[in-house]
Amino acid sequence: MRFVDEYRDARTARALAARIAELCEPGRRYTFMEVCGGHTHTIYKHGVEDHLPPNVNLVHGPGCPVCVIPMGRVDDAIAIAREPDVIMTSFGDMMRVPGGEGSFLDAKAAGADIRMVYSPLDALRIARQNPGRRVVFMAIGFETTAPSTAMTVLRAAAEGLANFSVFCNHVMIIPAIKAILDSPDLRLDGFIGPGHVSTVIGCRPYAFIAEEHGKPLVCCGFEPLDVLQSIHMLLRQLAEGRAEVENQYTRVVPWEGNGRALEAIGKVMELRPYFEWRGLGFISHSALRLRDAYAAHDAERIFQVPGVRVADPKACQCGEVLKGVLKPWECKVFGTACTPETPIGTCMVSSEGACAAYYNFGRFTRSRAKEATTA
């Protein structure tokens, strides 16, 4: 595939790896966080870590939209799905995410009409085709998917599709990065910045990371060579004593972002005072809800939403994994009680979740991985 295959070349990867190794000061340990779950997926799928010197350590960030949804929100969505005449629509990633009382799949098996869609526009079409039913779209994701939801709501409003609504769970990346930076558990040397979020918000919003926290961030593409090149750019900044926001993914990410997408979000959505994140707890001004003008398409106003808080299962350590404090295999239930087939925590569900990526592509056994990290 064009714009993909070129960035997977193994020989170029080895050459980059050699340059990365040259930049590492002996005896110094470097820890970079890949904010985005898409990067986690790439890193494990292509074995990017195998190309890195042992003193370069990658930790996974909170940028997996499925993973950060708290269990209570899943229960809320299922409660909506059980209302009369409702068709709940959702991205496939959400289907197996466990709530306090089971997942979408469980609710579907028990009789709720829950359908998988590729795009919110598919949900809109279902609403058009089923005028007698109430179609709800389970909207999740960072700034990458929020514009699509916003555009779909605008379209529904324009068409007067009164039977279409959105259960809005959109979250924002900057407050999450702030929460990570304020967390005392983690010492980071820099960030592999989210690529596709940045197509929307651009590179400017990350400036505080460099200016206030003195840490470099490189917006990074999703192929293995992109990740290696970004690590090289981070190491070069550190070697030269710089802390700046740089853009490796210039073929897709404009420095200013996507004005139209930001406009669509701003028109349809507004900040929530606070929102609960799995693992990170309540973060103020970190999520979006529909504006009053679009209340007719807001599932939270149309339906009675229980809004119950559900604590994560005790055994599950998704919170620590999302903050980068624990590696997936260090979780007590990883690969034993918690697997992609029967996930306990969200990180094991989505293909962008660190645990699922590691489980599916990890070539280490759990014990060998432990040896490797403690060596």
Partner 1 sequence: MCLGIPGEIVELLPDRADLATVEVAGVRRAISVGLLDGPVRPGDWVLVHVGFAMSRIDESEAAATLALLNGLGPAYADELQALAESDIT
Smallest distance, partner 1 to C-beta of residue 159, A: 12
- Residue 206: CB partners within 8 Å, gap ≥ 6? 174, 177, 191, 193, 217, 219, 245
Note the residues at the interface with partner 1 (CB under 8 A): 1-7, 9, 11-12, 15-16, 19, 36-38, 41, 65-66, 91-93, 118-122, 140-142, 144-145, 147-148, 151, 196, 199-200, 221-222, 225-226, 229, 248, 250-254, 258-261, 264, 350-352
- For residue 41, give the nearest of 20, 57, 64, 16 by alpha carbon: 64
Question: In the complex with partner 1, which residue's Cβ is closer, 76 or 223?
Answer: 223
- Residue 144: CB partners within 8 Å, gap ≥ 6? 194, 196, 197, 199, 200
Question: In the complex with partner 1, which residue's Cβ is closer, 165 or 199?
Answer: 199
Smallest distance, partner 1 to C-beta of residue 367, A: 31
Question: In the complex with partner 1, which residue's Cβ is closer, 74 or 261?
Answer: 261
End-to-end CA distance of the chain: give it in Å, rounded: 40
Smallest distance, partner 1 to C-beta of residue 315, A: 26
> Rounded to the nearest 5°, which phi and psi values hold at 348?
-90, -5
Q: Yes or no: say if 253 and 198 are a contact pair by the CB < 8 Å rule.
A: yes
For the chain, give the number of residues: 375
Question: In the complex with partner 1, which residue's Cβ is closer, 264 or 369?
Answer: 264
Smallest distance, partner 1 to C-beta of residue 29, A: 26
What is the chain's Cα-based Rg?
A: 21
Smallest distance, partner 1 to C-beta of residue 285, A: 22
Q: Yes or no: say if 344 and 98 are a contact pair by the CB < 8 Å rule.
A: yes
Question: In the complex with partner 1, which residue's Cβ is closer, 317 or 350?
Answer: 350
